[in-house]
A and B are shown apart, each in its own frame.
Chain A
Amino acid sequence: MGEAKETTYREAVREAMREAMKRDERVFLMGEDVGHYGGCYAVSMGMLDEFGSERIIDTPLCESGFTGAGIGAALNGMRPIVEIMTVNFVLLALDQIMNVAAPLLHMSGGQFNVPLVIRMATGGGKQLGAQHSHSLEGWLAHIPGLKILTPATVQDAYDMVGLALADPDPVLIFENALLYNEKGMLDTQAEPLPIGKASVARSGKDVSIFTYGISLFKALEAAKTLASEGIDAEVVDLRCLRPLDDETIMASVRKTRRVVIVDEGWKSGSLSAEIMARINEQAFYDLDAPMERVCTDEVHLPYAKQLEDAAIPQPVKIVAAAKKAVGS
């Protein structure tokens, strides 16, 4: 065990990448403006100077081209980290992700695995308008062959880079853009919680709130409010959307029998729907009330602040959902 120090989410990610690149010369970072600009969200600030332009590569604006290049490099002995500036641009690389990276191991009869890491900023709430405010991590979690990570805490922001690089298959990491400035404790020596394990951020007995990413903090805030009203909420940080940690989820449902899911995607056909389906399949008889969920309203996010805030999950909505679930 090392010492935990306070740092920002951004610095945790940077630290993790730096450590990985120092340890393993196969690791390199590739994406738009990661080098000279220092990274759109300043995550890779200073890394060009430290590692040089052969390992910190500024790409042209060609998501499909450089994501595919990342796949090819991973196939051929490197350990690339591809940074797609935000999840909003992943659509341009979707064919490479869904038709090349995700199926290759299965499609080649087990011959070719793709040890690729793709990092993306995600989420709305910054008044960036419809085309820059998507939360598509739940949508991408539909695809077999991929692993989908959503670090919420500073510790996970650090740990997940290493976990992803060690994984022999394609891993997508979603960093909510509003988290980069958040401070938290980081212990670089701590044993990381593996991919596929959720974490109980707050233990409780009256209702289970399942969530991920920035919504974790909204849920924890809601839990405080609920506690003051005599409702003891359990908050579970999913950490990984594919594979989902069914075991932890069902154990929580068995304990509290009431469920709220907070998912920043649109609710129709969303990750929250998937979790509800699984709870129906695995823990139906433990439920004491219908499951609730708080998702983004079915609109493309508008620019005006009051509209955008009203559309995305907020602590007050989570509180209301929890109360409905417990029947008060």
Chain B
Amino acid sequence: MDIELAKKFYRQMVLIRRFEEKCVEMYSKEKIRGFLHLSIGQEAVAVGVMHALKDEDTVVSTYREHGHAIARGVAPERVMAELFGKAEGCTHGRGGSMHLFDAATRFYGGWAIVGGALPLVGGLALADKMQKRDRVTVSLFGDGAVAEGEFHEVMNLAVLWQLPVLFICENNLYGMGTALRYAESETNLARKAAAYGMEARQVDGMDVFAVAEAAQKAAEEVRDGLGPIFLECLTYRFRAHSMYDAELYRDKNEVEQWKKKGPLVVFQKRLEEEGLWEQIGADAAEKEAESTVDAAVDFAENGTLEPVEDLAKFVYSEEVMHG
């Protein structure tokens, strides 16, 4: 057990957890508006997957992407500022929670149409392949996206053209309010990808070590040109789909059961079993997370608003952005 790595994993998961909890508070106080989709319970997937990536790799996610963005390296203060709609946000306040973009970390969004970004993923990988670059494009999406036509189109294209994509399916068992069994004839999602001839695997999405290991291995294979890989992460969200959701579609007990095997709990149990829990510095991690999140809120509070006169900016490019 690499204790330094374990500490890093823990710190990141705690940071994401506290960040998301702070978002609940900020939303309740109307600092954050619109839609807010939290990844509480799914921290292990974000942290484990991002660990497997290099700087030059590309990440495409969905609207439940705060954890992905932070784990990828987008500064929490820039994420919070974005949620507050400030110009200092990573998307200059124009995107909000569902549209986090960051060119510096090759974080290509933040997308609100379920499955809508999957074809884009194919294209990003196609370009890497054409330009013979050693990059992996990581595509994160949920179980709901698997029903969309775009999912199937990109599965086919990815295998057909041998595109260097690592497809991460965060299966948290529910679309917005519809359990997987009401949405899919085949609920074993890895089998769907396999039907396209893709290498498809499953992993326990609550165990950050398992996720990291599986993602690492898969990313290496993709990078080596062995074709796209589909990694289904079995996970669960502890909160509702979004803030305004009475969760009429699932049982409270089910939620409680999953909380008992959540990523922080699983992590702690594992480290305790190995007698290494004390070395993790959980208190320090909590304090650090608290201060980072508080600083992020301050940064966001003190941010500025993009002037209304600039509304029409960036409809078209003013100059060529990248060659």
Direct contact between A and B judged by beta carbons closer than 8 A: yes
State how many angstroms separate the Cβ of A255 from the closest Cβ of chain B.
Answer: 30
A-B contact count (CB 8 A): 152
Interface size on B, residues (CB 8 A): 48
Cβ-defined contact, B149 with A64, below 8 A: yes
Compute how far the CA of A107 lies from the CA of B126 in the bound complex, rounded to whole angstroms: 23
Cβ-defined contact, A66 with B119, below 8 A: yes
A100 interface neighbour in B89, B117, B127, Cβ under 8 Å: B117
Cβ-defined contact, B157 with A169, below 8 A: no
B contact residues around A100 at 8 Å (CB):
111, 116-117, 119-120
B248 part of interface (Cβ distance < 8 Å): no
Cβ-defined contact, B315 with A96, below 8 A: no
Cβ-defined contact, B123 with A69, below 8 A: yes
Cβ-defined contact, A66 with B127, below 8 A: no
Cβ-defined contact, B99 with A108, below 8 A: yes
B71 part of interface (Cβ distance < 8 Å): no
State how many angstroms separate the Cβ of A53 from the closest Cβ of chain B.
Answer: 11
A230 part of interface (Cβ distance < 8 Å): no
Output the residue of A112, A147, A169 with the most chain B CB within 10 A: A112
A110 interface neighbour in B117, B124, B156, B313, Cβ under 8 Å: B313
CB closest chain-B residue, reference A61: B153
Cβ-defined contact, A72 with B124, below 8 A: yes
B94 part of interface (Cβ distance < 8 Å): yes
B99 interface neighbour in A54, A65, A105, A107, Cβ under 8 Å: A107
B265 part of interface (Cβ distance < 8 Å): no
Interface residues in A55-95 by Cβ distance below 8 A to B read: 59-60, 62, 64-78, 80, 95
Compute how far the CA of A245 lies from the CA of B222 in the bound complex, rounded to whole angstroms: 48
Q: A108-B101, A111-B101 are in contact. Are A66 and B157 (CB under 8 A)?
A: yes
Q: A105-B314, A105-B316, A109-B94 are in contact. Are A75 and B153 (CB under 8 A)?
A: no
B187-211 toward A: CB 8 Å interface, digit per residue (1/0)?
0000000000000000000000000
B97-133 toward A: CB 8 Å interface, digit per residue (1/0)?
0010111000011010100111111111111101100
Cβ-defined contact, B120 with A75, below 8 A: yes
A144 part of interface (Cβ distance < 8 Å): yes
Q: Main secondary structure on chain B at its contact with chain A?
A: loop
A106 part of interface (Cβ distance < 8 Å): yes
Q: A99-B113, A108-B95, A111-B102 are in contact. Are A169 and B124 (CB under 8 A)?
A: no
Interface residues in A95-132 by Cβ distance below 8 A to B read: 95-96, 99-100, 104-113, 115
A113 interface neighbour in B99, B102, B317, Cβ under 8 Å: B317
Compute how far the CA of A16 lies from the CA of B149 in the bound complex, rounded to whole angstroms: 34
B123 interface neighbour in A60, A71, A104, A111, Cβ under 8 Å: A71
Compute how far the CA of A180 lies from the CA of B302 in the bound complex, rounded to whole angstroms: 59
CB closest chain-B residue, reference A92: B149
Compute how far the CA of A77 lies from the CA of B315 in the bound complex, rounded to whole angstroms: 20
A contact residues around B128 at 8 Å (CB):
76
B93 part of interface (Cβ distance < 8 Å): yes
B contact residues around A95 at 8 Å (CB):
113, 116, 150
If A76-B123, A77-B127, A109-B314 are given as contacts, then 7 extra A-B residue pairs at C-beta distance below 8 Å, sorted by A number, are A59-B157, A60-B156, A68-B117, A68-B122, A76-B127, A95-B116, A112-B321
- In the A-B complex, the 7 residue pairs with the smallest Cβ-Cβ separation, listed nearest first, are A68-B119, A72-B123, A65-B153, A109-B92, A76-B127, A69-B123, A62-B153
B: which residues have CB within 8 A of A? Answer: 58, 89-95, 99, 101-103, 108-109, 111, 113, 116-128, 130-131, 149-150, 153-154, 156-157, 160, 313-317, 319-323
Identify 25 residue pairs between A and B in the complex whose beta-carbon atoms are under 8 Å apart, listed by A's number.
A60-B157, A62-B156, A62-B157, A64-B149, A65-B156, A68-B117, A68-B122, A68-B150, A73-B124, A73-B126, A75-B123, A76-B124, A77-B127, A78-B126, A78-B127, A95-B116, A96-B119, A96-B120, A100-B119, A105-B314, A109-B101, A112-B108, A113-B320, A113-B322, A168-B317
